[in-house]
Amino acid sequence: MSETVWEFLGLSGKKALILHHDDLGLLQAQNAAYEALGFPTGSVMVPASWASQLAQHAWADLGVHLTLTSEWRAPRLRPLTSGSSLRDSSGHFWPSVEEAWLHIRTEEAEAELRAQIHAALAMGIDVTHVDTHMGAVLRPDIAEIYLKLALEFRLPAFIPESLEAVHLPAPLRRPIENLLDRAPLPKVRWLDSYPVPPAQKREWFIETLCQAGPGVYHLIHHAAIPTPEAQTLPDWEKRKSDYEALQDPEVRRVIGEFVLLTYRQVREALRRI
């Protein structure tokens, strides 16, 4: 399927880049960075307080950052639905993927993920794709739901060509790889700036993109303006360094060597094929 979509879009033999802003809606500082940078593609954490701010942007290319965890002490996120297995003792999503996978019941995960897509549409967001917060959909039964919802809503889903960078427990790796390999949806080459130390971020963007050969790349960043609100997160320096790197003229020059691709283009191609 991916080869057909990329050929349909005229990308064979070219370098294409989906520059993807994760965690939108989590902070006003995250949304402000999205507006300032001007790159249209990202995904919204619908249960977060500032999700509805994103609906006003006609130029936006926004997906749903399907959320089953609430990793930070603040802001904490609550499910949209009533499923008890989705919640810890405080009523919020479980803090870690491991806790979520241990407790969440399949049917309650499906109801919650479906509700998040419907809520984004109700906000007025023209949902162009789905992806996953913290990889929480990679439990095999939840991964099946993830793909099922993408097909039901006729949306592309973020599916990497390789899961080498994902530290899955050994018993889960083969079932997940087999499931994703069979999915009739396009796959991308995954690049993630999050593990990169802040001081090395600019050089990482330049070197990584300069070394990239032909293919379709999905590059994740978490840019946020370093306001007092943003500085409440333990990883705020990572988010600040993404914001600064993506403003750098040399980083932007290298990005300009790619065909900049949006998930709206991918969605429309999928719906036409």
Whether pLDDT at 38 is above 60: yes
Whether pLDDT at 169 is above 90: no
pTM above 0.85, yes or no: yes
Residue 248: what residue type? D
Whether pLDDT at 31 is above 90: yes
Whether pLDDT at 7 is above 80: yes
Residue 72: what residue type? W
Q: Pick the catalytic residue: 22, 61, 131, 242? A: 22
3-state secondary structure 77-129: CCCCCCCHHHECCCCCEECCHHHHHHHCCHHHHHHHHHHHHHHHHHHCCCCCC
The answer to whether residue 22 is catalytic is yes
pLDDT value at residue 245: 98
Biggest CA-to-CA distance, the chain: 52
> Phi and psi for 164 in degrees, rounded to 5?
-60, -35
Instruction: Report CA-CA distances (Å) from 107 to 34, 115, 148, 207, 272.
Output: 34, 12, 13, 44, 31
pLDDT value at residue 1: 56
2 falls in which pLDDT band (50, 70, 90)?
low
168 falls in which pLDDT band (50, 70, 90)?
confident
Whether pLDDT at 220 is above 70: yes
Judge whether 106 and 141 are in contact, CB under 8 Å. Answer: yes
What's the total number of domains in the chain? 1
Q: What is the mean pLDDT of residues 158-184?
A: 88
Full domain range(s) for residue 259: 2-272
End-to-end CA distance of the chain: 10
Mean pLDDT of the chain: 96
Task: Return d(Cα 136, Cα 67) in angstroms, integer.
Answer: 7
Q: In this prediction, what percent of the chain has a pLDDT beyond 90?
A: 90
Judge whether 233 and 239 are in contact, CB under 8 Å. Answer: yes
Helix, strand or coil, per DSSP, at residue 51: helix
Instruction: Report CA-CA distances (Å) from 33 to 18, 64, 70, 114, 252.
Output: 17, 18, 21, 28, 15
Q: Which of 7-11, 97-101, 166-170, 217-221 has the lowest average pLDDT?
A: 166-170
171 falls in which pLDDT band (50, 70, 90)?
confident
34: burial class by Cβ within 10 Å (0-12, 13-18, 19+)?
buried
73 falls in which pLDDT band (50, 70, 90)?
confident
Judge whether 254 and 52 are in contact, CB under 8 Å. Answer: no
Q: Pick the catalytic residue: 61, 218, 222, 242? A: 222
Whether pLDDT at 3 is above 80: no
Q: What is the mean pLDDT of residues 170-197?
A: 92
Q: In this prediction, what percent of the chain has a pLDDT beyond 70?
A: 99
**CATH no. for residue 260?**
3.20.20.370
pLDDT value at residue 165: 79
Q: What is the mean pLDDT of residues 202-210?
A: 98
The answer to whether residue 222 is catalytic is yes
62 falls in which pLDDT band (50, 70, 90)?
very high
Q: What is the mean pLDDT of residues 166-183?
A: 87
